[in-house]
Amino acid sequence: MLRIAILGCGARGRTYASMMGQLKERYQIMATCDLVESRAREAASHATEEIPVFTNDEAFFQQGKVADLLIIATQDRNHYGHALRAMELGYDILLEKPAAQTLEQCEHLDQVAKEKGRKIGLCFVLRYTPFYRAVRDFLDSGRLGKVISMHASEGVEPYHQAHSFVRGHWAKTGDCTPMILAKCSHDTDLLCWFADSEIKHVSSYGRLEFFNKKNAPQGAPMRCSDGCEHRSTCMYDAHHYLGEKRRWLRMVMDGSETATDEQIMNFIQTSPWGRCVFHCDNDAVDHQVISGEMKNGVSVTFSMTAFDLGRSIEIYGTKGSLKGGLPWQVAGAHELWFRDHSTGEKEDVPVIHADEIGYAGHGGGDFGIIDSLDKLFGDSGILSPGLDGLAGHQFALLAERDRLSHV
Ligand SMILES: NC(=O)c1ccc[n+]([C@@H]2O[C@H](COP(=O)([O-])OP(=O)(O)OC[C@H]3O[C@@H](n4cnc5c(N)ncnc54)[C@H](O)[C@@H]3O)[C@@H](O)[C@H]2O)c1
């Protein structure tokens, strides 16, 4: 039985708590903490019995070590301090990505973890999806031969970009982390994982091109609810939260599931999510490309855009190539193909669909990582002391450093 405490019970922390609630025979939630009491209480409701609920990180840490593992799912800017404090108390940590805001901080976490013999796993949930697991297994089969180069892409999707990276938590990079870390560290992690290597040289370009004042329709007010005359034609109109985009509110509005239309209107009129997407204070990029070379010679390219949906991966080996993706991120949409260079034949590579094994969220990765916690952190867990996944963060942060040198 792995005993787990949760610090930060927002959208992510509560998702993990509810999944642990489905695995009560293996995981015991010991304590929860969030500045917003109702969130901490909701996470605690998945424990087997009444547990301590904290509304202050200091009070939580003052209890000492109350579990084997601490899940840290506070916001990006809190991770470094919370992780250091947790390691002082002797916790192993499942840390939400990104690990920290700078390369130096990430490397420091790794160093402290190694010195103290603590394990930090990052929530790189995509590694735990059936799709990317199938890619890794195919690589391990040796059928691709020697991997020479790789290409990956991520389409964030325009409304998702607007919700999270224009109006939302990750819009102002100084308060959180740059887009390439906040959103694409999954991808840089996967590229390192598939190449079995770390980045050596990297260059990157990208900017915020669309979601800014210069693209505002004429006369668009600061808020969609301020009588915007473009409401009926604007795909970013915040009133969509009343209808088909309502599910997005779950991540940012407490009680949205049971809120009345009047309460949602009030949210649109007063919260950051009601602002015109062309009149926000965002600086997160809406497109970025990377090209690089890994230490073992594998070359990699990656492209992120707000204006597509889904991830793809192409791996080119001496014996064959593997291509596939999560095109529309819906159940049943995983596709993966192998081309054998010697025969020219193409075959479908089977991927178990996440919904078939009860996996949900992030292509099955959210449940996948929780399902793997005891294999990672248990008595004979596979993680060793240090920050697992540091290589992907180094890749992303070095790419960002290069991008900034061009703008
Ligand atoms: N692994 C993934 O795929 C993935 C996906 C989305 C978000 N994330 C990351 O997960 C983290 C959380 O994201 P979220 O969407 O749940 O955000 P959120 O804002 O919903 O949750 C963060 C929670 O932390 C709480 N908090 C903040 N400071 C605190 C403190 N000092 N003490 C206690 N609680 C505190 C907030 O009240 C909030 O409830 C972020 O770092 C984000 O980048 C990861």
- Tens of pLDDT along 194-203? 999 999 999 9
Rounded to the nearest whole angstrom, what is the distance from the C-alpha of residue 10 to the centroid of ligand 1? 5
Query: What span, in angstroms and rounded, lies between the C-alpha atoms of 78 and 35?
Result: 12
Spans of all domains in the chain: 2-123, 213-274
pLDDT band at 271 (very low <50, low <70, confident <90, very high): very high
Q: What is the pLDDT of residue 29?
A: 98
* Res. 220: pLDDT tops 90: yes
pLDDT at 294 exceeding the cut of 70: yes
CA distance 258 to 274: 19
Question: How many other CB atoms are there within 10 angstroms of residue 36's CB atom?
Answer: 12
Residue nearest to atom 21 of ligand 1 (CA): 10
Residue 93 Cα to ligand 1 midpoint, Å, equals: 15
Task: Check: CB of residue 14 under 8 Å from CB of residue 42.
Answer: yes
CB atoms within 10 A of CB 219: 9
Name the burial class of residue 378, with classes exposed (0-12), middle (13-18) and buried (19+) by CB atoms within 10 angstroms of its CB.
middle
pLDDT, tens only, 37-82: 999 999 999 999 999 999 999 999 999 999 999 999 999 999 999 9
The pLDDT of residue 76: 96
CA quadruple 121, 35, 364, 156: dihedral, nearest 10: -100
Mean pLDDT score, 143-152 = 98
Ligand 1 closest atom vs CA 182:
43
What pTM was computed for the model?
Answer: 0.95
Check pLDDT > 60 for residue 329.
no
- CATH 3.40.50.720 correct for 2-123: yes
Q: Is the pLDDT of residue 303 over 90?
A: yes
User: What does the pLDDT look like over 384-403, one tens digit per residue?
Assistant: 999 999 999 999 999 999 99
74 C-alpha to ligand 1 centroid (Å) = 4
Q: Report the residue among 54, 74, 161 best suited for mutation to probe ligand 1: largest number of ligand atoms under 8 A from its CB.
A: 74
Residue 274 CA to ligand 1 centre (angstroms): 21
pLDDT at 184 > cutoff 90: yes
pLDDT in tens, 252-269: 999 999 999 999 999 999
Q: Is the pLDDT of residue 358 over 70?
A: no
Residue 360: the pLDDT is 63
